Amino acid sequence: MMVQKNTNNAPNRLQPIRKIAVTYKSQYGTTKQYAGWIAQELNATLLELSEAKNTDLTRYDLIIHGGGLYAGGIGGLKTVLKKSHKSLVVFTVGLADPKTADYFEILKMGFTEEQLSQTKVFHLRGGIDYSKLNFLHKGMMAARHKYFNMKSPAELSEEDKEFITTYGDKVDFVDKVEIEPLVAYVRGKIGIE
């Protein structure tokens, strides 16, 4: 295994270089943006899902997978979970505010209990530009809007209300600071600074 000088400890201590790959699935670019930033910060290989499919992921000590949230599904997660890998960290990118959103159903849908117990998951906030949505996504969002509009305000969560007020617009919450907890966690896990 390749080694590098560990500048943080005794000068002669040698530490294994940890190989990391950031895999991602992004429809409109917000997850791609975060994946790129994370790969850059951690000096990792960046692999879009179609490349990841054809890559032996066991070559990497750690896979960090990012997926946009679509109706509660985490983009590309199933593909990555099916492939052999040594260790996995996942980040989701969605419109909902991670400070208040409940991810219980999303995690239950994406992982078995065993998989979840072995995977650290982070939630980052993305954005949406309704003018750029494809036909299917426009239809899905229109149906969701109609459904919420039929409910009384008391039945709506803050997230639902925010969805109604931003429906049809362009909103962008993508911010590099969002990656900091994930990057700090990975640095701690692999012992680099």
Ligand X SMILES: Cc1cc2nc3c(=O)[nH]c(=O)nc-3n(C[C@H](O)[C@H](O)[C@H](O)COP(=O)(O)O)c2cc1C
Residue 68 or 110 having the CB closest to ligand X:
68
Secondary structure (3-state) at 4: strand
In terms of C-beta density within 10 A (0-12 exposed, 13-18 middle, 19 or more buried), how is residue 164 classed? middle
Q: Does 126 bind ligand X (CB under 6 A)?
A: yes
* Shortest separation between residue 54's beta carbon and ligand X, angstroms: 21
Residue by residue, what is the 3-state secondary structure of 27-82? CCCHHHHHHHHHHHHHCCEEEEHHHHHCCCHHHCCEEEEEEEEECCEECCHHHHHH
Among 21, 77, 95, 179, binds ligand X (CB under 6 A): 95
Quick one: which of 89, 94, 110, 178 contacts ligand X (CB under 6 A)? 94
Query: Contact with ligand X (CB under 6 A): which of 27, 45, 55, 87?
Result: 27
Q: Please give the residues from 128 up to 187 whose contact with ligand X meets the rule CB under 6 A.
A: 128, 133, 137, 140-141
88-94 and 127-129 beta bridge pairing: unpaired
In angstroms, what is the minimal distance from the CB of 90 to ligand X?
Answer: 14
Please pick, from the candidates 21, 52, 68, 107, the single residue that binds ligand X as defined by CB under 6 A: 68
Q: Tell me, by CB under 6 A, how many residues bind ligand X.
A: 22
- For residue 20, the minimal CB distance to ligand X (Å) is 20
Amino acid at 68: G
Between helix 158-166 and helix 135-149 the angle, nearest 10°, is 120
Pairing assessment for the beta strands 20-25 and 45-48 based on DSSP bridges: parallel
| Cβ 29 to ligand X shortest distance, Å | 5
Convert 32-57 to b/e letters by CB count within 10 Å (16 or more is b).
bbbbbbbbebbebbbbebeebeebeb
Contact window for ligand X (CB under 6 A) among 6-14, 70-78, 149-157, 185-193: 70-78
Q: Which residues bind ligand X (CB under 6 A)?
A: 26-31, 68-72, 93-96, 126-128, 133, 137, 140-141
